[in-house]
Amino acid sequence: MSSLRMQSLANIRQNQGSTLPESVFKSSDRFGESVFNKKAMREFLSPEIYESLLEAIDLGHGITPDVARQVANGMKNWALAKGATHYTHWFQPLTGSTAEKHDSFFSLNNDGEAIEAFSGGALVQQEPDASSFPNGGIRNTFEARGYTAWDPSSPAFVLESPAGKTLCIPTIFVSYTGESLDYKSPLLKSLAAVEKAGVAVCQYFDKNITRVYPTLGVEQEYFLVDSALFDARPDLVLSGRTLFGHGAARGQQLEDHYFGTIPERVHAFMVDFENEAYRLGIPLKTRHNEVAPGQFECAPLFEEINLAVDHNQLLMDLMEKIAKRHGLSVLLHEKPFAGVNGSGKHNNWSLATNTGKNLLSPGKTPKSNLMFLTFFVNAIKAFHDHADLIRASIASAGNDHRLGANEAPPAIMSAFLGEQLSRVLDEIEKGKLDKDQVEVRSLMHHIKAIPEILLDNTDRNRTSPFAFTGNKFELRAVGSASNCAAAMTVLNSAMAQSLTAFKAEVDKAIGDGESREGAILKVLQKYIKATKKIRFEGNGYGDEWQKEAAKRGLSNFRTTPDALDAMVSKSTIQLFEKTGVYSHREIEARHEIMLENYIKKIQIESRLVGELSLTQIVPAAMAYQQRCMENLRLQKELGMNAKSSASLKVLAETIAQHISAMVEQTEKMRLARKKANEIDSTRAMAQAYCDQVKPYLESIRDHADRLEILVDNELWPLPKYRELLFLK
């Protein structure tokens, strides 16, 4: 019992006794109690300030310094009453996680007396020393200042840790020259774009619509492993995934984990983190086991997208923190284990209006169904026109293991509509709309029936990356660790562009004397024809689809460096400049950051594989090989002939061969890394890491995994899959 693995196995028995939460509240009792929400605002702000703040949030108006000062004061009093001692601007830099820099409320007044202070200025803007956040060359070190600016549309909250409480203020993060350095600011810009375009199109149907905003509900998948075992796996600790590990004799083939009974220990963790989430206003609704052993999922009620993204980011932080209390470690990586399913983040996306309508939900009248179809077809058009960019927005080293592997949605972007709606689109496509209004009337009759046909639309295609599920689209290709804002910003922007073009075409047709309905149907018909190749109702995992998609001319980017090229394509730059979401410089910088990110991830994994091979796996294998050799000698001493010792000899030789191969390939990998590091262009370096370095991760692992099932169990240094995956 020498290895860390063996000690950890002994330790987990202690963790299994983790206690249930002391008390269970009704969720509604504690919902939002740590949020500076409307209730808290009414209590801590004067009625005038409360009104002007809400107005500013609703209409997106600026906030005057005086209002900011008074809001800051109210927020401070509320936070102090909650026990907070510090405040921080809370933001989402391009590292993928959230960032905070805490300042104390503590201050000294003119008489040198200690007071608690929080100014309007401190609420509205801060200058974090941000020179070490990814910036893609936007900030030179001499102008290293970036600043964070308050986003009043996402309410402040108090985060609690055993050592104290902190007031967190959601903010954007931009460079001193105004370029975005985070996920939130482009998302907010995309909201403005889709609102403007959406409201304009809504006017054809309902003059009362003055606001359109995307909604998002994120299903979050994750794995849980015992912390003691997690700590004994440097690959999990440093890269988030297992770089070695032979599959357990039993993986997910029995299909008994999905929706199975939640283990008690996991249940205790879930209850605990859900309660924390409720207090922070995160409306969690669903929890269940996922397909792979040790894999779980949670999902909230959907919310306005900016809030939903903030909540998902906060949720990930929260899960990691709270799991520790239960002796568990959360794995948010897209593919923590080879051979079992990876994790994604299903982004359920729709558009809602100030009148309470879901624009992707059909209504009762033909007119409202035409409105539904308008947004539905425009969403397909948006997805079609920028499918490569959507693929780029979800690309990461982690997600590469998922997309294109035989489990998650394929790397080919296609949309699933369900049989009934496909048929409706086919009918419209066939309509001879040029001649007379008769066709328009008959099609409107068809459209009238949509709600009935959708009622029994139970179509569920789990293999599609972008599926319509009755009243929303579900983008399933987003990686479990990523910030949803990246993909959602693209989808919103593409939708804005599509709707704007649609409006222009419909207006033109109306100007040419068409009826409004006729004009709308005609442009929809055009879009339906133009987007056909992106529609696919079949099995997205099959080889036939790969061939069919290639025939249709759909892209199939299997690796991140290739996929990311679409970020800087002509159509992308046009899209973002037109919608005002990214400047050319910003998107170039972001492309650079994503490439750097990819390089660093592979570099870390490669170093880890080298180190663990030479310092843990090879030594264990050598020790066992030595034992085999001793035993061979012993057999000889006992007078056994070569024939009866043959299989032991083969074992010793096999081990020796794997050892040699590992040592040799580790050195080759190091040289490949060295060569890649000398490349100047980031794009080319990423390609070199992808083509020259990454393959060694697989081949070295292959030898190690074979050794794992040959070498003495007690000598094996890393916790095994069978130990990691089955929580009790």
List residues binding ligand ADP (CB under 6 A).
215-217, 219, 299-302, 348-350, 358, 469, 471-472, 474
Q: Which of 377, 589 has the CB closer to ligand ADP?
A: 377
Task: Return the one option of Mg ion, ligand ADP, none that residue 471 interacts with (CB less than 5 to 8 A, by type).
Answer: ligand ADP
Q: How long is the chain?
A: 728
d(CA 314, CA 277): 9
d(CA 468, CA 483): 22
Site for Mg ion in 343-362 (CB under 5 A): 346
Task: Return the one option of Mg ion, ligand ADP, none that residue 709 interacts with (CB less than 5 to 8 A, by type).
Answer: none
d(CA 488, CA 312): 13
Q: Based on C-alpha coordinates, what's the Rg of the chain? A: 28
* Residues 6 or more apart in contact with residue 122 via CB below 8 angstroms: 72, 87, 103
What amino acid is encoded at 355 in this protein? T
CB of 464 to ligand ADP, least distance (A): 12
Contacting range for Mg ion; rule: CB under 5 A; set: 62-70, 341-349, 437-445, 618-626: 341-349
Instruction: Say which residue the tokens 């005057």 belong to.
Output: 64
CB of 21 to ligand ADP, least distance (A): 24
What amino acid is encoded at 103 in this protein? D
**Virtual torsion, Cα 604, 606, 608, 614, nearest 10 deg:** -160
Q: Which of 390, 628 has the CB closer to ligand ADP?
A: 390
Q: Which of 423, 460 has the CB closer to Mg ion?
A: 460
Q: Which of 37, 471 has the CB closer to ligand ADP?
A: 471
CB of 473 to Mg ion, least distance (A): 11
* Letter string b/e over residues 254-285, b meaning 16 or more CB atoms within 10 A of that residue's CB: eeebeeeebbebbebbbebbbbbbbbbbbbbe
CB of 350 to ligand ADP, least distance (A): 3
d(CA 299, CA 287): 7
CB of 462 to Mg ion, least distance (A): 9
d(CA 386, CA 116): 50
Contacting range for Mg ion; rule: CB under 5 A; set: 156-164, 193-201, 338-346, 650-658: 338-346
Task: Return the one option of ligand ADP, Mg ion, none that residue 472 interacts with (CB less than 5 to 8 A, by type).
Answer: ligand ADP
CB of 131 to ligand ADP, least distance (A): 38
**Virtual torsion, Cα 130, 136, 138, 142, nearest 10 deg:** 50
How many positions of this chain bind Mg ion (CB under 5 A)?
Answer: 1
CB of 215 to ligand ADP, least distance (A): 4
Q: Which of 267, 462 has the CB closer to ligand ADP?
A: 462
CB of 341 to Mg ion, least distance (A): 15
Q: Where are the alpha helices (DSSP H) in 386-484?
A: 387-393, 397-400, 419-430, 437-448, 450-455
Task: Return the one option of Mg ion, ligand ADP, none that residue 343 interacts with (CB less than 5 to 8 A, by type).
Answer: none
Q: Cβ–Cβ contacts within 10 Å for residue 638, how many? A: 8
Q: Which of 21, 260 has the CB closer to ligand ADP?
A: 260
Question: Which residue is nearest to Mg ion, using beta carbons?
Answer: 346
Task: Return the one option of ligand ADP, Mg ion, none that residue 685 interacts with (CB less than 5 to 8 A, by type).
Answer: none
What is the phi-psi region of residue 489: left when phi exceeds 0, alpha when psi lies from -120 to 50, beta otherwise? alpha
d(CA 60, CA 63): 9
Q: Which of 216, 581 has the CB closer to ligand ADP?
A: 216
Determine contact, residues 249/29, Cβ cutoff 8 Å. no
CB of 218 to ligand ADP, least distance (A): 6
Q: Which of 311, 346 has the CB closer to Mg ion?
A: 346
d(CA 306, CA 284): 16
Q: Which of 226, 225, 296, 301 is nearest to 259 (CA)?
A: 296
Question: How far, rounded to the nearest angstrom, does the alpha carbon of residue 182 sit from its chain's CA centroid?
Answer: 15
Q: Which of 180, 480 has the CB closer to ligand ADP?
A: 480
d(CA 473, CA 475): 6
Task: Return the one option of ligand ADP, Mg ion, none that residue 350 interacts with (CB less than 5 to 8 A, by type).
Answer: ligand ADP
Task: Return the one option of Mg ion, ligand ADP, none that residue 183 interacts with (CB less than 5 to 8 A, by type).
Answer: none
Q: Which of 139, 476 has the CB closer to ligand ADP?
A: 476
Q: Cβ–Cβ contacts within 10 Å for residue 115, how many? A: 10
Q: Which run of H or of E encompasses 125?
A: strand 125-126
Q: Which of 88, 215 has the CB closer to ligand ADP?
A: 215
CB of 373 to ligand ADP, least distance (A): 17
CB of 336 to ligand ADP, least distance (A): 23
Question: Which residue is nearest to ligand ADP, using beta carbons?
Answer: 217
Contacting range for Mg ion; rule: CB under 5 A; set: 26-34, 71-79, 342-350, 526-534: 342-350
CB of 24 to ligand ADP, least distance (A): 23
Task: Return the one option of Mg ion, ligand ADP, none that residue 662 interacts with (CB less than 5 to 8 A, by type).
Answer: none
Q: Which of 158, 218 has the CB closer to ligand ADP?
A: 218
| Contact set with Mg ion (CB under 5 A) | 346
